[in-house]
Amino acid sequence: MQNVPEEWREGEERMGEMVVKRKVDSEGKKNEGQGGGEGEKESLMMELTKLVQKVVKESSWWERIGIDCSILAAAFLCLAPAFLLLGSSQVLYFSAGMLLMGMAHAVITFKGTHLASHGSLSESQAWAKVWAVFFIEICGSFSAQAGIQGHIKMHHAHTNVIGLGDSSVWKAPFLPRTVYLFIAPLAVPIITPLVALAHLRGNSVAVMVRTVLMVTLGLYSQYWLLIHVSGFLSPLSALLCMLVCRAMFSVTYIHVNIFQHIGLHMFSATSRPKRIYQMTHGVLNLPRNPLLDWMFGHSLINCHVEHHLFPFLSDNMCLKVKPVVSKYLTENKLPYQEDSYFSRLRLFFSKYQELMVFAPPITELVGVQ
């Protein structure tokens, strides 16, 4: 099992050691019937964890980490021909370079930053922290500390809990639905570093300096290469190229972030169900798609349920344990939610006010709270 940085643990869970505590009533007692029912619910997550751990232990390093690292390495290798193609005066070659750089940037910043935030790119704690800074700050133009805090400690630890991990950070109720769904996401490359700077308040001077330097390094490196390798003649044209490449798949990025949680069951912080019920009722998988799987990774697309149940697994391992998880949940009559990308898009477009503007209703799962 891979080692997970102490600050990245969520709730009472580790990747290699799932800790499930029994709740007790205010008097510290339960009758025999209640105890049996509670034990049964707890054993579901424990039993599923053992099944998944068995698959992980039997997997090689290549399966656990190597495949995903290779995909990221391939994305970085694609940058060299992309910069060269962008120096061509022929429209076809220039367009190919733009597309190649946009796709490579998407793989690095969507898949890479997500895996790095979970410490899934290395079994070493020290290297996991290095990769987090590299991918989140240098490549993703965001604060590693704020990213881990928001994604790991809030979204994952409190998935679909109102006021904590309810994905409301992605809502912009003042925007009309067409603007929000199809136009506003194009500003994500500009908004991201500005939000990163806003999150620096209250951090140590060392963290603030590191974040500013790393974000600047990432942005300036691409700008410098466009000027000196691709041969862009003006700063404005280089900056415009950067914006186009970085915004190329940002519409899909916003869609993926809202489709798999918003519109599903939301819970109160005071009466949240046990983890296995919380994740199976509040998380949804999209179907496999070669382009989305490559750019975002399986854990964000077709294995999102598996990812929320076992967040420190790599994309490839989420895909490998998917049959085990889906079979177990189905056999135990737990929901295993799946829906297509365009089905979710139609839902959000037709029910935009209900899903993205108004406060969501709170679900109480009778018998499992």
Q: In this structure, what token pair is assigned to residue 261?
A: 């949680």
- Specify the pLDDT at position 171: 84
- Specify the pLDDT at position 364: 59
Phi first, then psi: give them for residue 235, nearest 5 degrees: -60, -35
Rounded Cα gap, residues 276 and 313, in angstroms: 17
The pLDDT tens digits of the residues spanning 160-202 come to: 898 887 777 888 889 999 999 999 999 999 999 999 999 998 8
Task: Cite the DSSP H helix spans in 248-274.
Answer: 250-259
Domain ranges, ordered by start, for the chain:
60-357
The pLDDT tens digits of the residues spanning 133-157 come to: 999 999 999 999 999 999 998 999 9
Is 68 within 8 Å of 119 (Cβ atoms)?
no
Rounded Cα gap, residues 209 and 213, in angstroms: 6
Q: Give the global pTM.
A: 0.86
Whole-number Cα distances in Å, 283 to 153, 156, 305, 314: 17, 11, 6, 18
